Structure 1
């Protein structure tokens, strides 16, 4: 179907394109932009359901016309002159969600101490933690992102692995270990114990192969994100704003133009909050450098995700015991 055959979802005239989340003519798109920009929702002046195909009625009954715009999928957040406003800053929203995640972890794992963990336990903890993340952090990101469900799935799929990797690094930045969500740890400088099997059903030869073939990926991860978090001493606010930049990514496979536009808007807001935060805690000459260092970390996060994809490939090709890692469902 050619573009000229597509009708405006509001007035049924020929559509001029995809505007603010729906196909519409320029006149109805301009009407919607004008109403949203003025922040004035039209008052009810009729019984409703006016015939908007009638040129006169759609000019008179702005309420029915506005409601029809919303009904066909036009989104206030996509009006270029109005970046979405929330009761809280994005950082405050994310801090609220991360505190909820922390509370859920404490209630779920009930860990009274900290002990060395084996790879099998790490997989079990990760599987449980993914559900906790879904019900806290991802629930918050979903609330703040006005896009279609399939586009949310695209963003979530791209986000989960980088979030878990960076979250481990953030929680571990004051130690020489990787701290898991349940409070136990992995000694990244000595993987002998980590790859010992706690299950009698596991082939000890496979455990040795896992250590040999997958050990280098631990070293890369340690030297990449883990060390950078320690060197920069990333604090909670910086970490959560990094998460915002990771989630609202663009240029992803199957990502729509509408979703890209929303992500660019949200990234602009996140960067504004990051600059504002750094300006509030650092001398003027240091703040721009700090912002630059944090932005550069996004490249390391991407490398970490690529590393996990390679880790998955090696595990499957060599039929290693690590092939059941829950994160592999997301890469």
Structure 2
């Protein structure tokens, strides 16, 4: 879907996802002689496109950039003459490599997060550990819808393979959420005092306790704070230092989803995962080449997979400690943690 006008036919244009009409508008706008423009949306009919000012802003939000316009094809440029400088223009023309899937993934992930928050009545970040474990079935459904949009070939998989892939992914989703949340709110968490952090930890576990025999606040902090410290120092902090772009994050997320190392998927599913991973890796490499990244950037980015796997293993221990202390965990999530996947 075109993020700018809502057209159902969209593809990669000038670094973002849009339909051909909006891409053409973006290109014409930047090469036309124009003065400052004002928003006229209030005077337009509801079924029309946004005004030029709002439409160009939407183009920018969708990721379209003037740097990726191929100037050699510009009809409006009065500074370049193709007939006189044909060879130099052809040499200067930049042909950007295929990164379609990871660019689409950025938009689809944002839609996923918005829908997920709406499903949880807008308080997803405030859920305690029990309430979060209750959202498993909803997460599986929303994740599958996102996957099918991005990779339609997954629709051919057997139901058992679809379920296995989704259930394999859920513990990883529990690592991705706090990671992305911390990165987006980095300044807030950096300025947070120790008592405030401890109160967040208390709230996360206390709501999952039975009415009788609950732990004190100090016991909650003593038992569970080391887990949060582990996640920060061994997963979140190393990935923050990488300063990954959104497209790189999306590549990492879907490399995790299509992990072909699991034993609970069929040979056909394994083959599909292998092929999709090749596509994602190729696009990740193309994205980094277009961004003039160092050759080592690819290997450094892939290291984040190891950090997230460490967090996933620690999650298993955390949930076991929750059960030992009689904290409620939804049966669906408990079964996913107990499944043998390797």
TM-score bin (small chain)? 0.5 to 0.7
Residue 193 and residue 263 in structure 1: after superposition, are their counterparts in 2 closer, same or farther (change >3 A)?
closer
2:286 to 276, 284, 290: 276
1:319 aligns with 2:335: no
Answer whether contact 1:195 1:211 (CA < 8 A) is retained. yes
Residue 275 and residue 189 in structure 1: after superposition, are their counterparts in 2 closer, same or farther (change >3 A)?
farther
Find the counterpart in structure 1 of residue 146 from structure 2: 140
Instruction: Report Cα offsets for 1:214-263 as digits up to 9, x if no partner.
Output: 22111111112211232112221111111110011012122222211111
Residue 189 and residue 250 in structure 1: after superposition, are their counterparts in 2 closer, same or farther (change >3 A)?
farther
Equivalent residues in 2 for 1:62-77, closer than 5 Å: none
Find the counterpart in structure 2 of residue 257 from structure 1: 267
Quote the offset at 1:295 in angstroms.
0.9
2:307 to 294, 300, 305: 300
Residue 222 and residue 93 in structure 1: after superposition, are their counterparts in 2 closer, same or farther (change >3 A)?
same
Residue 227 and residue 304 in structure 1: after superposition, are their counterparts in 2 closer, same or farther (change >3 A)?
same
1:100 aligns with 2:111: yes
Quote the offset at 1:327 in angstroms.
4.5
1:310 to 314, 317, 323: 317
Write the distance in 2 (CA, Å) between the matches of 1:305 and 1:186: 27
Answer whether contact 2:130 2:329 (CA < 8 A) is retained. no
Answer whether contact 1:162 1:301 (CA < 8 A) is retained. yes
Find the counterpart in structure 2 of residue 70 from structure 1: none
Residue 282 and residue 150 in structure 1: after superposition, are their counterparts in 2 closer, same or farther (change >3 A)?
same
What TM-score, normalized to structure 1?
0.59
Residue 190 and residue 202 in structure 1: after superposition, are their counterparts in 2 closer, same or farther (change >3 A)?
farther
Write the distance in 1 (CA, Å) between the matches of 2:267 and 2:185: 42
1:214 to 224, 227, 234: 224
Runs (5+) with no aligned partner, structure 2:
1-97, 338-342
Residue 267 and residue 157 in structure 1: after superposition, are their counterparts in 2 closer, same or farther (change >3 A)?
same
Runs of 4+ residues over 6 Å off in structure 1: 185-189
Residue 221 and residue 165 in structure 1: after superposition, are their counterparts in 2 closer, same or farther (change >3 A)?
same
Write the distance in 2 (CA, Å) between the matches of 1:131 and 1:188: 34
Find the counterpart in structure 1 of residue 12 from structure 2: none
Instruction: Indicate the RMSD between aligned Cα atoms, in angstroms.
Output: 3.6
Quote the offset at 1:280 in angstroms.
1.2
Quote the offset at 1:137 in angstroms.
3.2
Find the counterpart in structure 2 of residue 230 from structure 1: 240
Find the counterpart in structure 2 of residue 164 from structure 1: 174
Write the distance in 2 (CA, Å) between the matches of 1:164 and 1:195: 18
Quote the offset at 1:326 in angstroms.
7.1
Write the distance in 1 (CA, Å) between the matches of 2:193 and 2:277: 33
2:250 to 224, 240, 243: 240
Instruction: Report Cα offsets for 1:25-65 as digits up to 9, x if no partner.
Output: xxxxxxxxxxxxxxxxxxxxxxxxxxxxxxxxxxxxxxxxx
Answer whether contact 2:99 2:283 (CA < 8 A) is retained. no
What secondary structure, in the 3-state scheme, does the structure 2 residue paired with 1:173 have? helix
What secondary structure, in the 3-state scheme, does the structure 2 residue paired with 1:195 have? helix
What TM-score, normalized to structure 2?
0.57
Quote the offset at 1:281 in angstroms.
1.3
- Number of equivalent positions: 231
